[in-house]
Structures are given as structure tokens and as C-alpha cells.
Chain A
Amino acid sequence: MATLHLRNIEKTYESGPQVIKGINLDVADGEFMVFVGPSGCGKSTLLRMIAGLEDITGGDLLIDGKRANDVQPSERGIAMVFQSYALYPHMSVGENMGFALKLAGKPKAEVDVAVGRAAEILQITHLLDRKPKALSGGQRQRVAIGRAIVRKPKVFLFDEPLSNLDAALRVQMRIELSKLHEELGTTMIYVTHDQVEAMTLGTRIAVFNHGVIEQVGRPLDLYQEPANQFVGGFLGSPKMNFIQCAVTERRADSIALKVGCASGFELPRSVAADAGSALTLGVRPEHLELTRAGDGIAARVDLLEHLGDSTIVYAAIDGADQIVTIKTQGGRTALRAGEAIGLRPQAGACHLFRPDGRAIAAQA
């Protein structure tokens, strides 16, 4: 059981740019914290700094309140599961899992009990005598997790542990990881570039971009109230639409927006934005309603994708060089490519972003 505090953590590689640019983050005891962000944004680097595999070049890392910057990896009370599993090829599954305890000088009987219990949790008891090369990808993944469990760490660190698995297995392991967290109740930090994994696994999510955290919060909070355009665009699939618009008029309890050169619509919200200013309207595909032509934002159907339970409509907005995505329920639609339609954003689900990307909070 452990808490984790990151204070202004920085990382600059020798002969390289600054990769981590001042991270502040508190991870509560028993929390499942997900680091998510595009590839190359520094998630793995930060995780490896927490593990002690990379030097921390600035700031403080506190594990259970104690500064751990200079503590050896093996003494931080962490266990890490690598993307490549990193199982020792010359040891059997059982030896792999018991290696840390054996090194710590635990008697063989005790090691065997711990390995047996972890193997039971992960249902790999029948594999204990095999070598890693005789296992499938999913089984190797379990062994890697088992090796972490055996150590009874205070914090589990996962670096994209599912990205080498096929899609079906990934979903299954995702569910099992959730259950494992419930069962063990241990603090976990999980790195992924997959926003679905982030949304489904995390107690809280930290969205990374270029070495900084853009926003931290519970998955649904981030989904519904992104602090900026990056977070809005990163979470959710299909991606949030960003529509360039201009404020034409500001009233007490609403503003009028103009999209493209033709259409305008009204947002029944009081927003701190002056008339004439350019903003970005963010609206998710499932929050755009299709209406008759002449109603709402004028657009033309460009392409249809039928997913069975729903249909993705790509539409070009008249007068603006922009394609928006609309997700409609139902597999069948009478729409045809080229058809003129109208789009109406659901008022409660619209986000407005300033040119610098920050979200404009609706004023109560």
C-alpha cells in the first residue's frame, strides 16, 4: 500500500531535449492511475523514472512520503511489467516468478508458496515448469504479471503491457487487470497510448503531451469536461470534431456563432468571449444531430460508414473547408452521399476552445 507524489519532476537526457518538463502528480493509495498520451510524449520515461531505471534530473519523487530519487530500483517496493514481458528465457515460468524472492534470500518453501498463489490467481499453475519460449503471447503476459505479483510490491508499474496482444486477448486481459486491481487493491500506474484502455481501466487518467500533463481526472470527467482541445481530441473515438467559428453576438445568457461563411447557430450559454473573436467549437460525433437541410449548420454528406449498430457520417460543412464526423444510432439510414443536410450540436455537449487551445468554461 503506498502513495506516490511527484514534485516538479524533470528529465533531460544528456545531449538531448528536455523530455519531461515539470510533472506534479499525486497518486493515492490503491489508485489505478493511467498515463495516456501519444507515442513519444514521455510516458514511459516518467514510469521508468518512478521505477528507478532512469535518473531523475530535476524535482522530487516521494514514495510513501519518503524521497526516493536515489533509492535503488529493487528497494523502492515497485514491480514493473514490460511491454516485451522481459521474461528470463533460460528460466522456467516458476523460476521467473520466484527470482526476486530467491535473490532476497527467502527459503525455497516460502518462494514456492508465493509463486503457487500468484500462479493460481492468474490460472497459470499448469505452466510453471515450462520455459517462456513454449508459451503463447497471452500466457507470457500472465507470467510477467505473476512475476510482479509474487514480489508483493507497494506499487505496480505497467508499460503498455497489452500492446503486443491481439485485439480479442487485449480486451480479455483488460478485464482481468481490472479484476486484479480490485482483488489486490494495490496502487497501480499504467502507461498506454490507447485511450480505450485508459478510459476503461483508470480510476484516474493523466493525459500527457510533449512531456507535460495536460489534465488529470476521472475518466468521465475528462471526457465530459476536457480542459483543453488536446484532451478533448485525444479521448473518445471517433475523435471530437473541431469546427472553426466566430462569435457574432454575445448576449446575457447565450452567444451566436457563425460557422463557415453561411450558417450560424446559437449556443444557449453565457460565455466569456467577445463578439468578433475566433473560437473552436468542439463537439463529439455522437453529440451532433442530423436535421433537415436548412436547419442548423448547412452541410453535405461526403461518406457513410456502416458499423451495424451505428453509422458514421462524414459531412462537409458548406462554406468551410472542413469535414465533420457524426455518429448516429441505427444501422440503416436513408442518407446518400452528396445529400444536403443540417447539423445541430447538442447544446449541453458543446465545448468552446480559445485559439491557444484552452477550454472556455461556461459561466453559471
Chain B
Amino acid sequence: MAAVRKRVSPSRWLAYGIVALGGVIMLAPFWFMFVFATHTNTEILSVPPPLWFGSAFLDNVRLLIEKLPFFWRNLGLSFFIAFSVTVLNLFFCSLAGYAFAMYHFKFRESLFAVIMATMMLPAFIFMIPTVLIMSAIGWMNEAKALIVPGACGAFGIFMMRQFIGTAIPKELVEAARIDGCSEFGIFWRIVLPLVTPALGSLGLITFIGAWNNFAGPLVIMRDMDMFTVPLALRALQGTGQVPWGAISAGSAIAVLPLMVLFVIASRRLIEGLTSGAVKG
């Protein structure tokens, strides 16, 4: 059968236009970040600004390192913190989610409601108490002050409870119990392998959140060598002329790991968010 040419109606063109505009607005900052990373400050501040790549990238990186002598260390620290927070979150959130999904215990629902309520609180509320606690126990200016409080989150618990509740039939757990699995063994050998899609999604979300975390390091970290990348880049804006080219280069370097991670994990992410069932 010959292909039927469908006429696209004007209202549809309008819809396409709106979506395209939205796309440009969302992507423009990314584009300019990468473009500016390759231009000198004078070029960036000229009118009109450059729209295509220049040749000053290495100069910008040199300037960045000059202004931020610990930049590579900052990058490494960011990675270490984000990675630790992610691994701990995957473990503790799935453990808690499993308990909420599969066990019956007193005050289960009220406890769950309390945990969910913490999601409603804005992050700023935690800033002052966190500082007070961390200075009291002497953890200020240390990575563990960011890792330990971030090791388990309400959203992760919620997500894992939902996923485990729908993906793991109760009888599977019972069969394992009869087979002689310990309670932790059931979690480790039966439940975890079956919730990997959800773990992938949660891992990605957590890693991105921890990587981009600004408020946490801002109140905890005092010395330049303990800054995470967002904090270090912000420090460039402090004095004198703002080196936009260097900031863009630094941001581009910081964003790259996330983009790579996202490309690798995006299929998993979408699977995990949409499908609850592991049919077996």
C-alpha cells in the first residue's frame, strides 16, 4: 500500500512549535556552557556572544587550575562522596523498603508516614541542625559529614517499598524461608537480584543529587581542598573579574560524568520508573 501522506493540521504545528521552543530554552544553557568553555572572557562578553566553539579551551582549563589549585582533588572528592552516598542509599533504602513492603510490625504505617513527611521539608531546614551536630561531633570539614547523613533517604525508601511490594510476590519470600534462607539471605539472594531495575533508577537519581549538592558542602566544608566541584566553581565568582570561560570549562568537566552515566543508565532508569513487575 502506498504511504498515505497525512496533512499536519495547524494546531499540531503550533504544538510542535511550543515543544521546540521549550527544548531550545532547556538546552541553550548546556550549549552555551560548552561553547563558552572554549572562549576567552573577552569573546564571551562581546556582543553578540559566540554561538560556536572557539579554541581557548586549554587556556580556560589552565586558568581554572591556576585559580583553583585543588580542582582535580575537588573533582575526586565529589566523585567519592557521590559514589559512597549512592552505594549506601541503594543498600539502606532497599533494606528499609523491603521491611516496609514485606514485614508486618507494630506502627509500620505510622513510621512510614513519618519518614514520608521528611520529604516535605525543604532542605534548608536541615542546614543549621546539621552544622550544630557536625561541629559537636567534630566532623566539620570532613567528607563523612556529607556521606553519613545522606546514606538513606525518604524518597529511596518510598521508591523501593513500592517496587518491592509490586515486583516480589510474598510467596517467593515464603518459599525461600522454607528453603532455609535466613531473613537477610532472603533480602540478599532473592529480593536484591529481582529489583535491579529499581536499583539502577535510584542509583542514578541519588548520584546526580549528591553530585550536584551545593547547600550541604557549603555549610560543612571550610577549606578549599575539601570543596566539592559545585562549591569550588562558585568560589571563582568571589573576587575581581569573573572568569566565565574557566567557570564554563569547569562546569563542562563536572557535567560530563553525569552525562556519560545517564546515557549508560537511561534505559534502565525508564524501565525502573515505569514498570513495577518482574514477571516470573
Contacts and interface: CB of A to CB of B under 8 A. Distances in A.
Contact of A88 (B172, B174, B177): B172
B181 interface: yes
B168 to A, nearest CB: 10
A116 interface: no
Contacts of B278: 89
Contacts of A52: 178
A84 interface: yes
Closest 9 CB pairs of A and B: A89-B280, A74-B180, A100-B179, A86-B171, A86-B175, A103-B180, A90-B193, A82-B171, A73-B178
Contact of A133 (B175, B190, B279): B279
B185 A103 contact: yes
Interface residues of B, number: 18
Interface of A: 48, 51-53, 73-74, 78-80, 82-84, 86-90, 99-100, 103-104, 132-133, 147, 151
Contacts of A78: 178
B271 to A, nearest CB: 15
B179 A74 contact: yes
B176 interface: yes
Interface string B187-212: 00010011000000000000000000
A312 B171 CA distance: 41
A133 B279 CA distance: 8
Interface string B145-177: 000000000000000000000000101101111
A90 B194 contact: yes
Contacts of A132: 280
Q: How would you classify the secondary structure of chain B's contact residues: helix, strand, loop or mixed?
A: helix
Contacts of A99: 176, 179
Contacts of A87: 175, 280
Interface of B: 169, 171-172, 174-181, 185, 190, 193-194, 278-280
Nearest to A159: B171
Nearest to A133: B280
A86 B279 contact: no
Contacts of B194: 89-90
Contacts of B179: 74, 99-100, 103, 147, 151
A103 B190 CA distance: 13
B180 A53 contact: no
Given A82-B171, A90-B194, A53 B181 contact: no
A86 B178 CA distance: 12
Contacts of A83: 171
B180 A86 contact: no
14 contacts: A52-B178, A53-B178, A74-B178, A74-B179, A74-B180, A80-B178, A82-B175, A84-B169, A86-B171, A86-B172, A86-B175, A87-B280, A88-B190, A99-B176
Contacts of A88: 172, 175-176, 190, 280
A321 to B, nearest CB: 46
Contacts of B177: 53, 73-74
B178 A51 contact: yes
A231 B90 CA distance: 54
Nearest to B196: A90
A90 B280 CA distance: 8
Contacts of B180: 74, 100, 103-104
A52 B176 CA distance: 13
Contacts of A53: 174, 177-178
Among A53, A82, A89, A100, the one with the most B-chain Cβ atoms within 10 Å of its Cβ is A89
B276 to A, nearest CB: 14
Contacts of B174: 48, 51, 53, 73, 80, 82, 86
B169 A86 contact: yes
A260 B280 CA distance: 56
A2 B262 CA distance: 57
A104 B171 CA distance: 20
A138 to B, nearest CB: 16
Contacts of A151: 179
